[in-house]
Structure 1
Amino acid sequence: MNAVADVDVEVVVIGAGQAGLSTAHHLSRGGLTPGHDLAVLDAAPAPGGAWQHRWPTLTYGRVHGIHALPGMELTGADPDRPSAEVLGEYFAAYERRFGLRVVRPVRVRRVREAGDGRLLVETDRGSWTSRALVNATGTWNRPFWPRVPGQETFTGRQLHTADYRGPEEFTDARVIVVGGGTSAVQHLLEVAGTARETTWVTRRPPLFREEPFDSDLGREAVAMVERRVRDGLPPQSVVSVTGLPMTEAMRRAREDGVLSRLPLFERVTETGVRWADGREVRADMILWATGFRPVTAHLAPLRLREPGGGIRLDGTRAVRDPRIHLVGYGPSASTIGANRAGRAAAREIRRLLAAGPDRNTARAAPAVAAG
């Protein structure tokens, strides 16, 4: 990995998943030249965003809700191939076709003021200065592990969705799957085929959706997340609004008792878990399918975080600093949402650049909490 000398550009995009590539595409169509006045930085070793890290048993045909990147459809993909391979190749072809010149692997350490209204992006491969920045880092690199008393005493194995590579490693084990989202159910159904026994635990009773996911339900889910982001609260899972889509495989699993859910246990013991009423379940492995949190720690020097714990947005723009846009955060944390947000962010950034440096430096008062 070669070092990169300090570079001065107009816009830096951090992240080359769906959100980052979408935004870079719209910025380049608006007149910015990748590698000259537009820099796209990606921490991953290869194209594909978070998809390249998905477990091999998640085939392309089992992925739902995928929308093509702007300007290039994904056609003819084999539904039986791993989604990591299909989408990794698609993202690579997209970068080549539009000449986005992604710099990778490069890890952004921090973003801070550079003076004269510019931002300084410090990385392990040098620094970039820019007039605007798009944070499209997603969540994959920040798995959420709930803290439960006794976790450190468990003598079995604990792993997160981010570590999951398929059901084979659970063969003949007693497994507890924790989480009420789609990934948790996918893991549970796979692991049930190889494990000795499985136990499903969720914080809240799961809501299964029998009816198709329509546009009204989609708008309701997005609106819920938008309200939280506008109020400066951390984004929240939309499963509580959309529910879990009931598939034929899930119906069979429910009939077989695999989807029989227990509430969250009170503590982890050396050999399993225990509830407040004294009930215990022994386990060899605990799989925490408990989601992810936005990767934003590198933005801490800019003091964007609100007292409520989130970054307040107006559209994609950080309210406390108009130079910063977050795409793939909150309501745009989906493939179709990232495409739309990327276009909106690019449009606002072009206006900001056209306004000149004097207006670019205007920003709100510092937040109370860093983040």
Structure 2
Amino acid sequence: MTVEAETTWGHELPREVDVVVIGAGQAGLSAAHHLRRRGFEPYRGFVVLDADETPGGAWAHRSPSLRMATVHGFHDLPDSALPAPDPDAPAREVVPVWFAAYEAEHALPVVRPVRVRAVRSLPDGRLQVETDRGDWTARALVNATGTWTRPFLPHYPGHFAGRQLHYADYRGPEEFAGQKVLVVGGGASAIQVLSELGPVAETVWATRRPPVYRDGPFTPEAGRAAVALVEQRVREGLPVRSVVSVTGLGPSVAYRRAEELGVLNRRPMFDRLTEHGAVWDGTEEHLDAIVWATGFRPEITHLAPLGLRGPGGGIRMEGTRAAADPRIHLVGYGPSASTVGANRAGRTAVNDIVELLGPTAQGRGEPRSSNAGAVQLTA
């Protein structure tokens, strides 16, 4: 299928580029910014394919109850600071507005909505990016698809007949008023849910391991140490752990609220589920609902045709580059799966791509300052 969309140049959208970026969240926008900065021309030299209909990445899908004051952490985009928001404003409204302004201000060539189905290697050395809106070919690829679309639900024995949902589908505490809710997970998402449910519901909190609490602010040294632990895993080709999983729980607004409410009474994981609840040490406890705040996995299924996964189950990485294929860069993955890490990863990936492609890149040259902007594809 060929889609003819008009850019602001008034020409058919180019389908052969030097670099395709998949995803327009923080990592993808960072990569796009640095591609423009290094002289890749929008649409002709590179393009950003985004699955969503509007800007914002995963932030646009977060719970309406997540306020800017309770966001776990955030970092500015390259050359653009987030304007001081109202602390009570929903993050799902504030961040997408900022991302949209960033795309426009930097004239980034974001094309949406485009869902990438597969990436394959062509005989001539280029990459074929297959989408629901036709194909693009590229000489290098930056994958910035994040994790939000792959929520992880662990398997436990038994069956619970009540309501179960992953944190990705959580929309606030109101619908759980007066209920008894089990919150599963030891990260920032679980703390957010507990802090919101505490005033309206009876909560039970369960994690596989005792949570690691961190006193005081998160220092740059601690951040580097956490990133190093995650980097070691991806260098060895092991399944990715999130940076947050090794940083511990810090004194956030949500954490302090949950502590004040007395809902941070962690239990070990239950033995099994039952129709009406869960069993700990042979005793069944009735539940009305379970919220699984059990994290996410990287969305990289479309890269499967490239055969990047190693025997360890993960993709072995050298910086942001897939060790098995220097054309492929993963940003917002592993050690860069945080807002500050995503910015650095975008710059690193583009530096490597410039070195890989060299002066033969077709879209290099002075970027146009006013003729690029997001393209909305229509059926």
What TM-score comes out, normalization by structure 1 length? 0.91
Cα deviations by residue, 1:17-68 (Å, 9 ceiling, x for unpaired): 0000000110111111121120100011210111111111111122243111
Distance 1:127 1:344, change over 3 A: same
1:339 aligns with 2:347: no
Q: What residue number does 2:26 align with?
A: 18
Shift of 1:256: 4.9
SS in 1 for 2:112: coil
Shift of 1:253: 3.8
Distance 1:295 1:245, change over 3 A: same
Q: What residue number does 2:357 align with?
A: 353
- The share of aligned pairs that are identical, in percent, is 62
Counterpart AA for 1:162: A
**220, 225, 229: which is aligned to 2:225?**
220
SS in 2 for 1:103: strand
Distance 2:205 2:157 in 1: 19
* Structural mapping, 1:170-319, within 5 Å: 170-195=176-201, 197-247=202-252, 250-251=255-256, 253-254=258-259, 256-275=261-280, 277-319=281-323
* Structural mapping, 1:76-225, within 5 Å: 76-150=84-158, 153-195=159-201, 197-225=202-230
Distance 1:250 1:211 in 2: 12
Shift of 1:241: 3.0
SS in 2 for 1:79: coil
- Answer with 213-222 or 61-70: which moved more: 61-70
Counterpart AA for 1:269: T
Distance 1:248 1:269, change over 3 A: same
**324, 330, 342: which is aligned to 1:320?**
324
Distance 1:185 1:32, change over 3 A: same
Distance 1:343 1:204, change over 3 A: same
SS in 2 for 1:133: strand
Distance 2:252 2:347 in 1: 33
Distance 1:342 1:251, change over 3 A: closer
Equivalent residues of 2:243, 2:335 under 8 A apart: no
Distance 2:257 2:304 in 1: 47
Shift of 1:70: 0.7
Cα deviations by residue, 1:283-339 (Å, 9 ceiling, x for unpaired): 110000000000000000000001111111101000000000000000011111111
Aligned length: 353
Distance 1:41 1:248 in 2: 35
- Answer with 71-80 or 84-93: which moved more: 71-80
* Structural mapping, 1:59-70, within 5 Å: 59-70=67-78
Equivalent residues of 2:243, 2:337 under 8 A apart: no
Flag structure 2 segments of 5+ consecutive residues without an equivalent.
Answer: 5-12, 362-379
Flag structure 1 segments of 5+ consecutive residues without an equivalent.
Answer: 358-371
Equivalent residues of 1:332, 1:338 under 8 A apart: yes
Distance 2:244 2:345 in 1: 21
Distance 2:220 2:302 in 1: 35
1:29 aligns with 2:37: yes
Higher-RCO chain (CA-CA 8 Å, sequence separation at least 6): 2
Distance 1:36 1:310, change over 3 A: same
Distance 1:250 1:352 in 2: 45
Equivalent residues of 1:220, 1:241 under 8 A apart: no
Q: What residue number does 2:374 align with?
A: none
Q: What residue number does 2:57 align with?
A: 49
Cα deviations by residue, 1:235-257 (Å, 9 ceiling, x for unpaired): 11334532111347645644654
Distance 1:290 1:348 in 2: 34
Equivalent residues of 2:21, 2:144 under 8 A apart: yes
CA RMSD of aligned residues (A): 1.8
Equivalent residues of 1:113, 1:120 under 8 A apart: yes
Distance 1:239 1:35, change over 3 A: closer
SS in 2 for 1:28: helix
Counterpart AA for 2:131: T
SS in 2 for 1:140: coil
Distance 1:64 1:188, change over 3 A: closer
Distance 1:239 1:119, change over 3 A: closer
Distance 1:130 1:255 in 2: 53
Distance 1:59 1:290 in 2: 21
Counterpart AA for 2:85: A
